[in-house]
Amino acid sequence: MVAQRYGGPEVLAVVDEDLPELAPGQVRVDLRAIGVNPFDFKSYSGAFGDDPEKLPLSIGTEGAGVVAAVADEAVSPDGLLAVGTEVIVYPGTGMYAESVVVSATSVLVKPPSLAWEPAAGLLLTGVTAMDTLDTAATGPDDVVLVHGASGGVGSATVQLAVGRGATVVGTASADNLDYVRGLGAIAVPYGSGLADRVREAAPGPVTVAIDTAGTDEAVDVSVDLVADRSRIVTIAAGAHADDAGIVRVGGPQSAAARRAARQTVVELAGSGALSVRIARTFSLDDAATAHRDLAQPHPPGKFILLP
């Protein structure tokens, strides 16, 4: 699946391409499931630029499947790989495909307890959530406010913070409050008066705020409630966050931290301490529909493509 030009989901098309020969350190993976993320459609929407030299543009960064071929020197972060090994791939490129050739350094062994769909949607959101909590130095004594707690990164952040022993207050729409409570958080609806509702619901002063929503409300409420700006972290907010002096993650330093966090996230998911809810699945041919639906209100959870 490639974007033939920049624009909306209508620019996506299925093409047949031969896979390249394996270079040393690479593996071929036959994919069983592919994670869908907002980054995917932003990549061809023009949000990150529209260089025509990059067209056609391959889509997708994460998935899960079976190792089909292994080149010399192909060693993953968790050991040697063999044909037939069930794996999770992240970060990858061109993952909207039936098969991909990737560096073995992007491949981790899938725990047997983890089904294909949650495995495919695990790592982008999981390592981003881990990065936010580590950046804010989150520990067991903290009261953590998570904005957008029912979203992909938000729900992972709630679970990981609860796993660290922190008390978590999560914001969500009224329809998703029960889901957020089920993750282990104190759930509050966002909207006018949010800061007062959080103060009333929290068992003590909020010490950490994680913004996965990217709204002005999330920034303003976080600044109102958390005295230490270095413990307010956003993955989404732009100039308003910069003006407020809070921390944005996602640069080169985050990339290294997120790669390092992958094994921990996989182990937590394998043990059941971190779950990935699946909202919908689509065929690979229906990727454009998945992108249109992802941009609209939808039930909590990840969208997954099935090759």
| pLDDT of 77 strictly over 90 | no
**pLDDT band at residue 76, thresholds of 50, 70 and 90?**
confident
Residue 270 falls inside a structural domain? no
Are 69 and 134 contained in the same domain? Answer: no
Are 88 and 165 contained in the same domain? Answer: no
Q: Cis (ω within 30 of 0) for the bond into 56?
A: yes
What is the spatial distance between Cα 16 and Cα 274, in angstroms, rounded to a whole number? 36
**pLDDT band at residue 74, thresholds of 50, 70 and 90?**
confident
Are 92 and 200 contained in the same domain? Answer: no
Residue 264 falls inside a structural domain? no
Are 161 and 239 contained in the same domain? Answer: yes
Residue 30 falls inside a structural domain? yes
Are 144 and 100 contained in the same domain? Answer: no
Are 91 and 185 contained in the same domain? Answer: no
If one counts every other C-beta atom within 10 angstroms of the C-beta of residue 102, the result is: 23
Are 218 and 296 contained in the same domain? Answer: no
Residue 86 falls inside a structural domain? yes
What is the count of structural domains for the chain?
A: 2
Are 134 and 219 contained in the same domain? Answer: yes
Q: What is the CATH number of the domain that holds 225?
A: 3.40.50.720
Residue 269 falls inside a structural domain? no
pLDDT at 73 (0 to 100): 83
Residue 60 falls inside a structural domain? yes
Query: Which two tokens mark 34?
Result: 């592919």
Of 237, 252, 267, the residue that ends a domain is: 252
Give the mean model confidence (pLDDT) for residues 158-176.
98
Whole-structure pTM value: 0.96
Residue 117 falls inside a structural domain? no
**pLDDT band at residue 108, thresholds of 50, 70 and 90?**
very high
**pLDDT band at residue 253, thresholds of 50, 70 and 90?**
confident
Residue bearing the bigger pLDDT, 79 or 167: 167
- Domain containing 188 equals 126-252
Are 106 and 148 contained in the same domain? Answer: no
Query: Which range is least confidently modeled, 16-30, 211-225, 233-247, 276-290?
Result: 233-247
Are 135 and 245 contained in the same domain? Answer: yes
pLDDT at 78 (0 to 100): 80
Residue 271 falls inside a structural domain? no
Strand-by-strand arrangement of the 167-172 sheet: 186-189, 167-172, 143-147, 208-211, 232-234, 247-248
Sign for the pseudo-dihedral over CA of 295, 297, 301, 307? negative
pLDDT at 178 (0 to 100): 98
| pLDDT of 243 strictly over 80 | yes
| pLDDT of 238 strictly over 90 | no
Give the mean model confidence (pLDDT) for residues 187-193.
97
Burial, 51: exposed, middle or buried (Cβ in 10 Å; 0-12, 13-18, 19+)? exposed
At 164, the amino acid letter reads R
> Any idea what the Cα angle at residue 168 is, between residues 115 and 211, rounded to 5°?
85
Contact 136, 210 (CB under 8 A): yes
| pLDDT of 252 strictly over 90 | no
Are 60 and 134 contained in the same domain? Answer: no
Are 247 and 135 contained in the same domain? Answer: yes
Q: What is the CATH number of the domain that holds 20?
A: 3.90.180.10
